[in-house]
Amino acid sequence: MAWTVGSAAEIAKVSVRTLHHYDEIGLLAPSDRSESGYRLYSAPDLERLHQILLFRELGFTLPEIRDIMCDPDFDRISALEAQRSLLAEKASRTAAMLSAIDAALDAARGGTPMTDKEQKEMFGELFDGFDPAEYEAEVQERWGESDAYKQSAARTKRYTKADWQQIADEGAAITAAYVELMDADAAPDSPEALAVAESHCAYFSTWFYDCGPEMFGNLGKMWVADPRFTKNIDKTRPGLAKYQSAVAQAWAASKRS
């Protein structure tokens, strides 16, 4: 049985344009063509498409997927087993995050400030394996006398659970914007990337401390200079820390020019 590009797109819930693009970049070529030259997809083609979409769901870029699936040693069963394991881990983490959000929503109606323990629990799933409190002594030693640290400490001390939830939501939206830029192969100094950096810098100024271009540029350097930050950021998408850093540097430079 063969499916037209429209039928295949409908089954996979993707656009026809997406299938055309996959064909153009050598990721998924239809096995056959009709007498009129239209693309015809076979059952193995749809199986390959399913695997591609699983990789996309897990955060892989199209060039990475092409390298993996075009490797002569690629084994579909092994790939499916690995994808299942990664998706199960993601589902578990999502369930824990939903539980934390539900707890925060219940508590937010009271408008009471969060304790350190509650903050750690709410952010525990967002920053799995990275506990900011662990580095509190280091932060105080390096920046404890700085205006930024004092300003941040004074602000965050007053925040309620609702405030922290909004901080988490806005931070997640900014991260998603960076990932979207990566998927589109947007240059770090493109107008779209610079706009996200502008919002990111404003996010720090709104919630933590006055963050100018120089400060934001230094933050960007830290994301790649400190492996702890790199590891945490890259949990969302491999290479995200490096990309965010490049965007931050480009934005800071644009403000100096």
**Distance between CA atoms of residues 239 and 196, nearest Å:** 17
* Beta strands, E only, 39-120: 39-41
**In the numeric block, which tokens belong to residue 121?**
């629990």
Give the model's confidence band at 23: pLDDT under 50 very low, under 70 low, under 90 confident, else very high.
Answer: very high
CATH 1.10.1660.10 residue ranges for the chain: 3-74
* Overall CATH class of domain 3-74: mainly alpha
Residues 95-256, CATH architecture? Orthogonal Bundle (1.10)
**In the numeric block, which tokens belong to residue 79?**
């790939």
Digit-coded pLDDT (tens) for 127-185: 444 444 444 444 455 555 567 767 877 887 788 777 888 888 898 899 999 999 988 88
Handedness of CA 17, 20, 21, 22 (dihedral sign): positive
CATH 1.10.490.50 residue ranges for the chain: 95-256
Report the chain's terminal Cα–Cα distance, integer Å.
60
